[in-house]
Amino acid sequence: MTAKRTTLIQDAKALRKLKLDAQKATKLGKDLATKHAIAEARFIERLEAEEAEGVKTGGINFVPAVTVYGQIQDRAAFVEWAQENAPELVEIKERKGEVSEFVRARLDDGEGLPPGLGYYEKAYISQRSA
């Protein structure tokens, strides 16, 4: 069975629809995560108000739990301490967006790149309103 040949216009429309669908899915995911967080907070409040340790339904136990997360409040002070006492807690990480801008500028100016830095090109279709 051979695939039906499409026109460039049909392919462009399909590409546009996929992009818009992906954007909607991303927004929907964020919206659902926000709704979930709100519902979860309300559920915890209700469990506390009703002095319930949890609820079981459909074979699932809904039980409140707490996890502790570290929060850097003074990055400079923490990094200085960690470098001396617990270096495994910090890392030096490149900024990918800024590195790409730097590479584009160097290439545009005809300048070479520093050691250890290369680049690749990615082809894509720009979608702009007419």
For residue 27, give the 3-state DSSP assignment: helix
Residue indicated by tokens 């051979």: 2
Q: Where are the extended beta strands (E) located within 10-124?
A: 55-57, 60-62
| Helix residue ranges, H only, 57-129 | 75-85, 96-108
pLDDT tier, 63 (very low <50, low <70, confident <90, very high otherwise): very high
Query: 78-109, pLDDT tens digit by residue?
Result: 999 999 999 999 998 999 999 999 999 999 99
- Top-confidence residue, 50 or 129: 50
Would you say the pTM of this structure is higher than 0.75? no
Token pair for 27: 């927004």
Q: What is the DSSP letter of 89?
A: G
Query: 9-49, pLDDT tens digit by residue?
Result: 999 999 999 999 999 999 999 999 999 999 999 999 999 99
